[in-house]
């Protein structure tokens, strides 16, 4: 397996660091628009691993906004698998580049959605990932696999859903992906600051778009941002966090191949975080269309969302400033194997203290990076195999979770909840 990793930001950097402990690949080429950033990840491997490991990694520069640039790198390095770790706005160009060069493809975030033009809070327009699913026949035609939505969420959340359906439940009523944490970021003075643990570009896209919900009798529909607030008790010492409906890929992915009556996604944002996002929206600072900004030299065209991203700390730089844990998990309700009412929350918790000490990465990006590395290993060893456009929920979940808990040393858990009140730990 020869991997082209596109994007050496927080998640891409963590992918390099995690993969350096494994031996399932022949080569990883780390590509970024900023060559220095890609080289920094490669240099970390040189500093922390033996030379025979370091020689498996190489840095290169790429402009991932054009499919022909991606295809050229695939050809230059004889790449078999493209790992997309850049922002979702580049998904289409990287995805198309993989098709054009006849390479396998993987990502963690999927192609962008577009709200319904006249009724955005009731009807979906183009959903997250629709563009990619529409390309399934193209990947089938070249005999390659596009494994999409394979990060923490979507990703391990989908895998938990599949495991629950296969091993814990005889009938599934609802699959609800529920993410939350108790992460705190401080400045040099020790004061808590607003600093999203993930790309603000992605955070704005997810949280301000109309949330997507799926029901068996209604299909896909949308609702207002931050709707249906409620507290959920997270494991691992995190405790209760208020969660709200948020747009996310799983709601488009899981109903395609899994039998459930309802699929939702909820995110623990907190009142202050929601307030800041609403303010950005009210001021137009969530916009992606460039506007003219006066400068000393005249005018510059700047997208408001890019400006917000520029003034906030880089998520990759937060490891030393962040404390706390993050939890990725899936709540499944329905009938157990004996026909009893059942509710189970399957989860993985990452602690920034541990991820920083071992990988110099903060918990959110490290947890996201761990999942595609395991998935790539399963593909390299032939445990997972397929063609076309597929999500991780379409593969056997047990080998992934066995490898996660075994060789990767990561605990994952199952909390049996009260079916009448599954938000609370028994």
Question: Domain map of the chain by residue range?
Answer: 2-107, 156-362+411-425
Q: Is the pLDDT of residue 167 over 70?
A: yes
In the chain, DSSP finds a helix count (H) and a strand count (E) of 15, 21
pTM, full prediction: 0.93
Q: Where is average pLDDT lowest: 54-58, 239-243, 257-261?
A: 239-243
Q: Is the pLDDT of residue 426 over 70?
A: no
Q: Does domain 2-107 have CATH number 1.10.579.10?
A: no
Distance of alpha carbon 102 from alpha carbon 126, whole angstroms: 26
Averaged pLDDT for residues 205-218: 91
Distance of alpha carbon 225 from alpha carbon 208, whole angstroms: 6
Query: DSSP letters of 118-183?
Result: S-TTTS-SBPTTHHHHTTHHHHHHTT-EEE-S-BTTTBHHHHHHHHHHHHTEEEEEEEEEEEEE--
Q: What local confidence, expressed as pLDDT, does residue 208 receive?
A: 85
For residue range 321-369, what is the model confidence (pLDDT) as tens digits?
A: 889 999 999 999 999 999 999 999 999 999 999 999 999 999 999 999 9
Averaged pLDDT for residues 6-26: 96
Find the angle CA(101)-CA(107)-CA(113) to the nearest 5 degrees.
Answer: 105
Level-2 CATH architecture, domain 156-362+411-425: 2-Layer Sandwich (3.30)
Distance of alpha carbon 119 from alpha carbon 121, whole angstroms: 6
Same topology, domains 2-107 and 156-362+411-425? Answer is no
pLDDT band per the 50, 70, 90 thresholds, residue 162: very high
């Amino acid at each position: 397996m020869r991997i082209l990793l596109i994007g050496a930001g927080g998640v891409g950097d963590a992918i390099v660091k995690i993969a350096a402990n494994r031996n399932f690949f022949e080569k990883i080429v780390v590509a970024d628009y900023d060559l220095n950033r890609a080289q920094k990840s490669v240099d970390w491997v040189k500093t922390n691993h033996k030379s025979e490991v370091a020689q498996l990694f190489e840095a290169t520069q790429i402009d991932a906004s054009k499919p022909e640039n991606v295809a050229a790198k695939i050809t230059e390095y004889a790449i078999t698998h493209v790992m997309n770790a850049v922002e979702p706005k580049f998904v289409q160009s990287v995805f198309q580049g993989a098709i054009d060069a006849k390479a396998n493809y993987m990502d963690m975030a999927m192609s962008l959605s577009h709200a319904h033009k006249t009724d955005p809070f009731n009807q979906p327009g183009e959903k997250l990932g629709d563009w990619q699913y529409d390309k399934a026949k193209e990947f089938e035609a070249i005999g390659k696999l596009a494994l999409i939505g394979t990060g923490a969420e979507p990703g391990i959340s989908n895998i938990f859903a599949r495991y629950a359906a296969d091993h814990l439940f005889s009938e599934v009523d609802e699959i609800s992906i529920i993410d939350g944490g108790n992460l705190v970021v401080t400045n040099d003075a020790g004061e808590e600051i607003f600093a999203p643990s993930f790309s603000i570009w992605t955070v704005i896209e997810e949280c301000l778009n109309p949330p997507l919900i799926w029901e068996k009798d209604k299909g896909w529909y949308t609702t207002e941002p931050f709707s249906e607030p409620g507290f959920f008790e997270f494991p691992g010492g995190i405790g209760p966090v208020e969660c709200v409906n948020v747009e996310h890929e799983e709601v488009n992915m899981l109903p395609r191949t899994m039998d459930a009556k309802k699929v939702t996604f909820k995110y623990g944002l907190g009142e202050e975080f929601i307030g800041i996002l609403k303010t950005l929206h009210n001021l137009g600072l969530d916009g992606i269309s460039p506007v003219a900004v006066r400068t000393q030299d005249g005018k510059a065209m700047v997208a408001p969302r890019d400006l917000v991203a520029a003034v906030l700390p880089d998520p990759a730089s937060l490891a030393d400033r962040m404390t706390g844990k993050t939890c990725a998990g899936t709540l499944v309700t329905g009938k157990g194997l004996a026909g009893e009412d059942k509710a189970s929350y399957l989860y993985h918790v990452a602690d920034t203290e541990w991820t920083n000490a071992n990988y110099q990465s903060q918990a959110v990006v490290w947890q996201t990076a761990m999942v595609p590395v395991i998935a790539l290993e399963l593909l390299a060893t032939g445990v997972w195999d397929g063609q076309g456009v597929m999500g991780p929920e379409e593969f056997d979940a047990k080998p992934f979770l066995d490898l996660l808990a075994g060789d990767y040393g990561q605990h994952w858990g199952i909390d049996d909840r009260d079916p009448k009140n599954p938000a609370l730990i028994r």
